[in-house]
Amino acid sequence: MDQKIIFFDIDGTLYNHDKKLPPSTKQAIRDLQAKGHEVAIATGRAPFMFKDLREELGVKTFVSYNGQYVVFKGEPLYKNALNKEALLRLTDLAVERNHPVVFMDHEDMKANTPNHEHVTAGISSLKINYFPEHDPSYHEGRELYQSLLFCQDPEDKKYEEEFPEFDFVRWHPVSVDIVPAGGSKAKGIQKIIDQLGILPENIYAFGDGLNDVEMLKTVVNSVAMGDGHEEAKNAAKHITTNVDEHGILNGLKMVGLLN
């Protein structure tokens, strides 16, 4: 049987909405690996935000930062850093507008504002044992792959107009991801596919959110979670059950990867 590669988003896909890994999901991943398939992660998270999950699942290939930092079998494969000059300008404007920014590289994240309620609300929702320390100069002279801008809808629309160098993807009511323009999980996945030389029909992807839309449109065998965003469900070829209703297991059965 041809080897398949299956990319999984984390939040709302592998993890339920309490940031827990359902037992049926963990077993389904084990079963895929036992069949010789490659299991990979495609997430907006930073690598240091899901190290424990990678170790728990035995995953060494991943697309992080929505495609900007890609690792293949434990080794960095592709890096796409934010435009430094544009990020400096954006940060200055954000300070004027009282919109905090969190700077992120592949190892750490730092906030330019201490103790802001929006940063606390956004980062706390990820339920990770990590919180950005205050370092307003962390973005200077450093390769950053993503930043977080803390503002409410529609305040981010002005930044979109002012900074064509970036794409802005909302992930929380008070925060948007800042990524290089044109970057996406789909493009990060393509770097891995090019490395593997695998056929399109042997590629699968599971997701639930707005940052999964391009991935779900691009990957031939795409599955959206039943409780996912409507745009994600519209983009996918298949829709499985909710994440806490054995959504991953049922989706893998739906596409014929598990019995």
State the catalytic residues.
9
CA distance linking residue 137 with residue 103, whole number of Å? 9
CA distance linking residue 196 with residue 190, whole number of Å? 10
End-to-end CA distance of the chain: 15
Please provide residue 225's backbone torsions phi and psi, each rounded to the nearest 5 degrees: -75, 145
Q: Where are the alpha helices (DSSP H) in the chain?
A: 23-34, 51-57, 84-96, 117-125, 156-162, 185-196, 213-218, 230-235, 247-254
The SS3 call for residue 79 is strand
Please provide residue 205's backbone torsions phi and psi, each rounded to the nearest 5 degrees: -145, 140
Please provide residue 219's backbone torsions phi and psi, each rounded to the nearest 5 degrees: -75, 135
What is the maximum alpha-carbon separation in the chain?
Answer: 58
Find all residues with CB under 8 Å of 183, minimum gap 6, and list them: 66, 67, 68, 80, 167
CA distance linking residue 8 with residue 43, whole number of Å? 8
CA distance linking residue 157 with residue 247, whole number of Å? 34
